[in-house]
Amino acid sequence: MKTMKFRFIAGATMAAAFMLLGGCEAYAMHIMEGFLPPGWSLFWTAVSLPFFVLGFRLMRKIVADNPRMKLLLAMVGAFAFVLSSLKIPSVTGSCSHPTGVGLGAIMFGPSVMSVLGAIVLLFQALLLAHGGLTTLGANLFSMGIAGPFVSYGIYKLADGMKAPRSMAVFLGAALGDLVTYVVTSLQLAAAFPSATGGFAAAMFKFLGIFAVTQVPLAVSEGILTVMVYNAILSYAGETMFGSATLSGEVK
Amino acid sequence: MMKKSILKNLLLAALVIALAVVPLMTLKHAEFGGADGQAEEAITELYPSYEPWFAPFWEPPGGEVESLLFALQAALGAGVLGYGLGFLRGKGESAGAGQP
């Protein structure tokens, strides 16, 4: 009973979120195609590639060890798909979207999300002209690597400090979401330092655009992640994914 | 116990909705454009001469098609997520280990 109600509520939340989007212009919040100079495009691609390879290997190992994990992997990827399509209005008067990568990072460890994040980014770059192929490496680093690693780290830290599980998941997902956009600001500021104020002035400018907009969305992402995490946990049980082999993957 | 968790989820859902509705209600004249569009402007401000050196191969023709593709993305994700939750729940029930 509880579970069916939950699903209804989750569905209603998403439906309501959709209705709100009428007022939003369609944009994704990643770095736009062609908007990073070639040198930086190459740099971020080179930085992201090892994480992607590592994540891909780990994912294959997870599936080989326990084929049932395929379903859970698909589900955390699907969660990122849903959340990164929801452009939500924010206090700054502009729209942004959550990333949805925190859930998978908490359940499977951060490197797996570099693969799932890449799939989401590729979908948006090719079909929606959001983000882009030349900026894929940079966007993957912010959304598929930095965000998930912070999510995972915060979750482990809070869990280690005996915080309630829901609180640890909330903090991990929300802060990972926020960090993604801080990193985006950093990437843009590094590529486009202000002529007068240098890197710091540009960073401040981009932070004002991305990070401030993202604060309420990070809270939303944290809440939604807790709801879905709790649902998966109550259906799949601790035995299936609360085990040490899953959450303790990072080396 | 059951009632408590329903109430908790309802409250959480209300909070998520409120987080999106409050800016809409309070900022009457805002355009709610995308944050990346603003970043584009900021770049042009900092470097007026910067030209994007690469263009997307394909762009959705018009906002409606774009909305369609975004809705498709969400629908695909929600479908897989819902299938997974239902599968896990059903399996838990048939094994007798899940929730009643």
Per-domain boundaries in chain B: 1-54, 62-100
Per-residue model confidence as pLDDT tens digits over A94-126: 888 999 999 999 999 999 999 999 999 999 999
Q: How far, in Å, CA of A94 to CA of A92, rounded?
A: 6
Q: Of chain B residues 60-89, which have a CB less than 8 A from chain A?
A: 60, 63, 66-67, 69-71, 73-74, 76-82, 84-85, 87-89
The sign of the torsion formed by the CA atoms of B81, B82, B85, B87 equals negative
Which of A35-39, A115-119, B35-39 has the lowest average pLDDT? B35-39
Residue A251 within any structural domain of the chain: no
Taking alpha carbons only, the member of A25, A26, A24, A48 closest to residue A36 is: A48
**A195: pLDDT confidence band, cut at 50, 70 and 90?**
confident
Which of A7-11, A156-160, A197-201 has the lowest average pLDDT? A7-11
**A245: pLDDT confidence band, cut at 50, 70 and 90?**
very low
Strand A94-96 to strand A88-89: parallel, antiparallel, or no bridges (unpaired)? antiparallel
A167-206 per-residue burial string, b: 16 or more CB within 10 A, e: under 16: ebbbbbbbbbbbbbbbbbbbbbbbbbbbeeeeeeebbebb
Asked if pLDDT for residue A13 goes beyond 70, the answer is: no
Q: A-chain residues within 8 Å CB-CB of B21? A: 20
What pLDDT sits at residue A9? 59
Q: State how far residue A44 is from chain B, nearest Cα, in angstroms.
A: 16
Residue A231 within any structural domain of the chain: yes
Among A25, A128, A205, select the one facing B33 at the smallest CB separation.
A25
Percent of chain A topping pLDDT 70: 82
3-state secondary structure A166-234: HHHHHHHHHHHHHHHHHHHHHHHHHHCCECCCHHHHHHHHHHHHHHHHHHHHHHHHHHHHHHHHHHHHH
The packing angle between helices A38-65 and A110-127, to 10°, is 120
Residue A20 within any structural domain of the chain: no
CB contact under 8 A, B13 and A81: no
Percent of chain B topping pLDDT 90: 28
User: Which residue of B26, B54, B66 to mutate against A (max A Cβ within 10 Å)?
Assistant: B54
Q: How far, in Å, CA of A227 to CA of A72, rounded?
A: 16
* Cα B95 to the center of its chain, rounded Å: 34
Q: How far, in Å, CA of A239 to CA of A47, rounded?
A: 35
Q: Which carries the bigger pLDDT value, residue A233 or residue A151? A: A151
Asked if pLDDT for residue A22 goes beyond 80, the answer is: no
Contact of A67 with chain B, judged by CB distance below 8 Å, is answered with no
Residue A16 within any structural domain of the chain: no
For A71, name the nearest residue in chain B, comparing CA atoms only. B84
Taking alpha carbons only, the member of A191, A157, A173, A177 closest to residue A32 is: A191
The secondary element (H helix, E strand) that includes residue B71 is helix B63-94
Name the DSSP class of A31: P
The secondary element (H helix, E strand) that includes residue B17 is helix B2-26
Contact of A7 with chain B, judged by CB distance below 8 Å, is answered with yes
Which of A196-205, B28-37, B39-48 has the lowest average pLDDT? B28-37
Note down the domain range covering A110. Answer: 29-240
Q: How far, in Å, CA of A60 to CA of A5, rounded?
A: 35
CB contact under 8 A, B84 and A75: yes
State the Rg of chain B over Cα.
22
Residue A23 within any structural domain of the chain: no
Average pLDDT (A18-46) is: 73
Q: How far, in Å, CA of A21 to CA of B98, rounded?
A: 37
Q: Of chain B residues 42-61, which have a CB less than 8 A from chain A?
A: 42-43, 46-47, 50, 52-60
**B6: pLDDT confidence band, cut at 50, 70 and 90?**
confident
Q: How far, in Å, CA of A81 to CA of A119, rounded?
A: 9
Q: State how far residue A140 is from chain B, nearest Cα, in angstroms.
A: 16
Q: Of chain A residues 149-168, which have a CB less than 8 A from chain B?
A: none
**A24: pLDDT confidence band, cut at 50, 70 and 90?**
very low
Q: How many inter-chain contacts (A to B, CB under 8 Å) are there?
A: 240
User: Which residue of B40, B70, B76, B94 to mutate against A (max A Cβ within 10 Å)?
Assistant: B70
Q: How far, in Å, CA of A173 to CA of A210, rounded?
A: 17
In terms of average pLDDT, the best of A11-20, A120-129, B39-48 is A120-129
Residue A11 within any structural domain of the chain: no
Residue located via tokens 């907009």: A213
> What's the domain count of chain A?
1
Average pLDDT, chain A: 85
**In terms of C-beta density within 10 A (0-12 exposed, 13-18 middle, 19 or more buried), how is residue A247 classed?**
middle
Among A13, A86, A134, select the one facing B74 at the smallest CB separation.
A86
Q: State how far residue A53 is from chain B, nearest Cα, in angstroms.
A: 24
The total number of residues shown for chain B amounts to 100
CB contact under 8 A, B92 and A24: no
What pLDDT sits at residue A14? 52
What pLDDT sits at residue A247? 44
Contact A170, B15 (CB under 8 A): no
Average pLDDT, chain B: 82
What pLDDT sits at residue A2? 53
What CATH number does the domain containing A115 carry? 1.10.1760.20
CB contact under 8 A, B35 and A210: yes
Per-residue model confidence as pLDDT tens digits over B78-90: 999 999 999 988 8
Q: How far, in Å, CA of A231 to CA of B85, rounded?
A: 8
CB contact under 8 A, A33 and B70: no
Q: Is the ipTM of this complex over 0.90?
A: no
